[in-house]
Amino acid sequence: MIFELTEEQQLIRDVARDFAQHELKPGVIERDEQQRFPAEQIKKLGELGFLGMMVDPKYNGAGLDAVSYVLVMEELSKVDASTSVVVSVNNSLVCYGLEKYGSEGQKEKYLKPLAAGECIGAFCLSEPEAGSDAASQRTTAVDKGNYYLLNGTKNWITNGSTAATYIVVAQTDPGKGHRGINAFIVEKGSEGFTVGPKENKLGIRGSDTHSLHFNDVRVPKENRIGEEGSGFKFAMKVLEGGRIGIAAQALGIASGAFDLALGYAKERQTFGKPIAEHQAIQFKLADMATQIEAARLLCFKAAWLKDKGLPYTQAASMAKLYASEVAMKTTVEAVQLHGGYGYVKEYHVERLMRDAKITQIYEGTSEMQRMIIAREILR
C-alpha cells in the first residue's frame, strides 16, 4: 500500500473540504435545530459528481475509487454528518447495489439519474423487529405472476421522504429462510406506499429519517434485483461497502472535533498561557490525534482492498468498529476540553458529539462488527 495520495485524490479532497467550509458550515446549526434536510447542498453535491462517485461514467458516475470516496466522506463529515450520510447511502448502498447486481434495464432507468445526482435513493432493510438482521425480514413480497405484492414496514430509513428510488429487502418464501429473500426497486409514489412521520433524533438531525409502510404495493417482476432468492446475499454485500462509508463518516466527525479542540486549546488561556501548553491538555491532544490517524489508516485499508477487488469484509468491520469508537471518544473529549463553551451550540462540538453516537449503531452495531471480525479471524 502506498501512503501517498495521487494528485487526483488530493484535488478531490480539497474540493470536498472547500465545499464543507463554504456550503455546509453556514447554516449547519440551524439545520440541526430545525431538522431541516440540506436539499440545496445535496443538489450541489450531485452537480459535483459526489452522489455517484464510484459508478462507471457510462452510467453517469464519476468513476472514482473508494479511497477518494473515503476522503470526501471525511471532509464533509467534519462539518455536517447529516449531509454526509445522504452521500454515503446514495453511493455505498443504492448506487453500488444497482451497479453491481442490477440488470442493464435497471441501470439505465434507475442508476443513471441516481449517479448523476438528479435524485437520491434509499436502502430499506431495517424493520421494527429485525434491525440489520437481513435473515429475519417480516416484510413480504408475494409472487403474483408478473408482479410481486409487497406488504410490511421498514424503520430508520435515511432519505425516507426525499428519495425517488427505494431498494426494499423482503421475504418472498419464508420456508426457504434466507434463501427466500429478495431485493426490489420501488418507486416513490407507488400506490399503497406511504411515508411515516419524520423521526426526532438525537443526532444527524438534518438527515431525513422515516418509517415506510407498504400496503399491497405492486412491484413489477423486472424490479427484482438479481436472481430469485439472492436478496440476502445482496444485502450482506451492500452493507460491507456501506461500512466503509460509515467508518469514513465517523473518522470525519472525530477529525472535525479534534480540529476544533486544537484551535480552542491554542487560544484559551489559563494561568497566563494557552491551555495547549499544559501537559495534561497535550496528552489529551496526542491521544486524540493518534487514535484518529489509526482510524484513518483502517478506513484507507478497507477502501484500498475494495479498489483492488480483494476481500474486505474484516477490514470494513474493523474500520467501522474502531472509527466509530474513536468518534465517540474524541467528541466527548472535545466537549470536555472546551469546558462550558463545549456545551453551547455555537461551538459545534456538542453537535458533533451527538452525531458521533449513531456511527456506533447504524450499518450494524459495534457488537455486530465484533461478531463479524471474530467470524472472519476464526475461519
Alpha helices for 55-196 (secondary structure H): 66-79, 81-88, 96-101, 104-106, 112-115
Closest CA to 90 of 55, 141, 63: 55
HSE at residue 254, side-chain half, CA atoms within 13 A, is 31
Is 70 within 8 Å of 248 (Cβ atoms)? yes
C-alpha cell at 237: 454485500
Is 28 within 8 Å of 22 (Cβ atoms)? no
Alpha helices for 182-274 (secondary structure H): 231-267
Residue 20's SS3 state is helix
Is 335 within 8 Å of 342 (Cβ atoms)? yes
Region label for 193, one of left (φ > 0), alpha (ψ between -120 and 50) or beta (otherwise): beta
**Catalytic residue chosen out of the listed positions 293, 363, 367, 376:** 363
Alpha helices for 23-172 (secondary structure H): 28-34, 39-47, 66-79, 81-88, 96-101, 104-106, 112-115
User: Beta strand pairing status for 209-220 and 193-198?
Assistant: antiparallel
As a whole number of angstroms, the distance between CA 330 and CA 305 comes to 27
Is 70 within 8 Å of 252 (Cβ atoms)? no
Q: In the annotation, is 277 catalytic?
A: no
C-alpha cell at 29: 446549526
Q: What share of the chain is helix, strand, coil (3-state, %, to 5)?
A: 60, 15, 25
Residue 50's SS3 state is coil
Region label for 267, one of left (φ > 0), alpha (ψ between -120 and 50) or beta (otherwise): alpha
As a whole number of angstroms, the distance between CA 144 and CA 220 comes to 10
As a whole number of angstroms, the distance between CA 278 and CA 286 comes to 12
Which residues are catalytic, by number?
363
